[in-house]
């Protein structure tokens, strides 16, 4: 998986920067968000807990995608500005 930074915009009022990346994964499916988070954290030299992946746009028929990420200055800032509406799944006792 290759990561290439296309655009980086600083937003000082929100204590974050927005980064657009091109991701190329030859002969592999589109990477999952956890794989992208790890790769982007290594590329930008930040911790994983300050990243928020906003959008992953797959190019049809190509082995590349465009990713938009918000990088916050601290985990507290991330919790302050990002809203996650997804409810955790309920586990049933009989299912494994």
User: In the structure, what pLDDT confidence band is assigned to residue 37 with cuts at 50, 70 and 90?
Assistant: very high
Query: What tens digit of pLDDT does each residue of 39-71 get?
Result: 999 999 999 999 999 999 987 888 889 999 999
Q: Is residue 95 part of a domain?
A: no
User: Model pTM?
Assistant: 0.80
State both tokens at 46.
């930040």
State the pLDDT at residue 49.
93
Count of the separate structural domains present in the chain:
1
Query: Residue 42 sits in a domain of what CATH number?
Result: 3.30.70.330
Please, which residues bridge with residue 70 across strands?
Answer: 18, 52
Average pLDDT in the chain: 89
Q: Is residue 93 part of a domain?
A: no
DSSP state of 94: S
Q: Is residue 15 part of a domain?
A: yes
Q: What is the dihedral of CA 10, 23, 84, 16, to 10 degrees?
A: -10
Angle at 60 between CA 55 and CA 62, to 5 degrees: 100
């Amino acid at each position: 998986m290759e990561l290439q930074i296309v655009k980086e915009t600083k937003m000082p009022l929100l204590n974050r920067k927005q980064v657009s990346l091109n991701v190329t994964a030859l002969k592999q499916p589109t990477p999952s968000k956890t794989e992208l988070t790890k790769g982007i954290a290594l590329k930008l030299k930040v911790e994983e807990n300050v990243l928020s992946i906003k959008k992953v746009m797959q190019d049809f028929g190509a082995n590349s995608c465009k990713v938009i990420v918000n990088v916050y200055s601290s985990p507290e800032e991330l919790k302050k500005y990002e809203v996650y509406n997804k409810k955790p799944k309920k586990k049933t006792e009989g299912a494994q």
